[in-house]
Amino acid sequence: MNVQAIREQFPILHQNVNGHPLVYLDSAASSQKPRSVIDAVSRFYEHDNANVHRGVHTLGSRATDAYEGAREKTAKFLNAASPQEIIFTRGTTTALNLVASSYARAVCGEGDEIVITQMEHHSNLIPWQQAAKATGATLKYIPLQKDGSIRLADVEATVTDRTKLVSVMYVSNVLGVVNPIKEITAIAHKHGAKMVVDGAQSTPHMKVDVRDLDCDFYAFSGHKMCAPTGIGALYGKKALLEAMEPVEFGGEMIDHVDLYDSTWKELPWKFEGGTPIIAGAVGLGAAIDFLNEIGLDEIERHEHKLAAYAYDRLSTIEGISIFGPVENRAGLVTFNLNDVHPHDVATVLDTKGIAIRAGHHCCQPLMRYLNVSSTARASFYLYNTEEDVDRLIDGLHQTKEFFGYGIG
């Protein structure tokens, strides 16, 4: 993988921030966009823009082709059986809420269980809390190991025949751990439960095959994988989606409307009420082309190498605590430096042109489990280099010095 050539395709990376060349280490929050994606969105607005599924005019059909073409690319990207199994959403949060608001409320009742973990992002936790409250189901947590990882024996011990849904993140946005989704899915299915996967941190960084995982639902966000903000998708097995009720009603999603009753369009459109994020979908299609051209396996290899290099170098800094398992990590490292507040670490690094994330990362229950209020996080993508890591390490030494810990 030629990282320098890849960097050339990301215009935003070539600038100084606070007098220093930008080092962007916050792709887990949102990735940067390559020229091909920016151009695809501009081209759409310059040449093809119109509403979809409506007009008989030429621009209307071009826009519809572009939008539905993006759905086909997304289906292939995840290895879904058909584009009908891809519902475009605003992102992971909206996709998970759709399952929780529609499927969970329909199948759960008093005494049933929804199973998640304490490492979940709020977007894969609160929708289930709400669904449990609304239906009388019990929310149960698969316990975590000390390093934050999950043991399959604990999954076995938590999931029962009363479990209707299991929802787990594929890759943790804090711990970097890659969860054994295929195995967890098999356990869920053994008990007749459906498996939901939060794919926000896996889809941008590794090859995902929903049919191989055999999960029932899979959610992801475009903006973390080189696409614009405001577009993402829910994958669902066709039979499940067909049986589900929409949660948004209005234009685009109807078949026949009467004064007191209405019927819905077929999949996937019954879940896409209102004018969709057409240019966003076009951008997602271009992002998928871009990632496919480089190859997800190559991207994953590059990021693992970088994360391992970062882990090793960070480990040599006196006073640092690194969170998450040593093995089986994706491309991010979460840490705290002595007792310097992570926001202060991020602020000092920003003065050196280095962008990292600090806070609870939308994982307050996990922060409580780790016994911290917040952490700092450096996350990597295909455009990051070992020099970026070296700049981070230098910046952290300077941060320590700034806060009176000396260098070491």
The minimum distance between CB 194 and ligand PMP, in angstroms, equals 18
Residue 169 binds ligand PMP (CB under 6 A): yes
Binding segment toward ligand PMP, per CB under 6 A, in 36-44, 47-55, 193-201, 307-315: 193-201
Which of 122/238 has CB closer to ligand PMP? Answer: 122
33, 73, 105, 121: which one binds ligand PMP (CB under 6 A): 121
Pairing, β 320-323 against β 163-169: unpaired
Residue type, 54: R
Question: Do 121 and 169 form a contact (C-beta atoms < 8 A)?
Answer: yes
Residue 69's alpha-carbon distances to 169, 179, 231, 283, 288, in angstroms, are: 28, 31, 14, 11, 12
Residue 308's alpha-carbon distances to 6, 183, 193, 303, 305, in angstroms, are: 21, 25, 36, 8, 5
How far apart are the C-alpha atoms of 60 and 363, rounded to whole Å? Answer: 42
Q: Binding-site residue total for ligand PMP (CB under 6 A)?
A: 13
Residue 158 binds ligand PMP (CB under 6 A): no
How far apart are the C-alpha atoms of 224 and 37, rounded to whole Å? Answer: 13
Residue 33 binds ligand PMP (CB under 6 A): no
Binding segment toward ligand PMP, per CB under 6 A, in 118-126, 260-268, 337-345, 375-383: 118-126
Is 362 in the active site? yes
How far apart are the C-alpha atoms of 17 and 73, rounded to whole Å? Answer: 36
Which of 26/113 has CB closer to ligand PMP? Answer: 26
How far apart are the C-alpha atoms of 392 and 21, rounded to whole Å? Answer: 12
Which entry of 108, 215, 226, 362 is annotated as an active-site residue?
362
Question: Do 399 and 337 form a contact (C-beta atoms < 8 A)?
Answer: yes
74, 221, 374, 384: which one binds ligand PMP (CB under 6 A): 221
Neighbours of 11 (CB within 10 A): 12
48, 85, 112, 198: which one binds ligand PMP (CB under 6 A): 198
Residues 349-368 as x/- pattern, contact with ligand PMP by CB under 6 A? -------------x------
The minimum distance between CB 124 and ligand PMP, in angstroms, equals 6
Residues 87-106 as x/- pattern, contact with ligand PMP by CB under 6 A? ----xxx-------------
Which of 66/116 has CB closer to ligand PMP? Answer: 116
The minimum distance between CB 391 and ligand PMP, in angstroms, equals 24
Residues binding ligand PMP (CB under 6 A): 91-93, 121, 123-124, 169, 173, 198, 200-201, 221, 362
Q: Which residues are catalytic?
A: 362
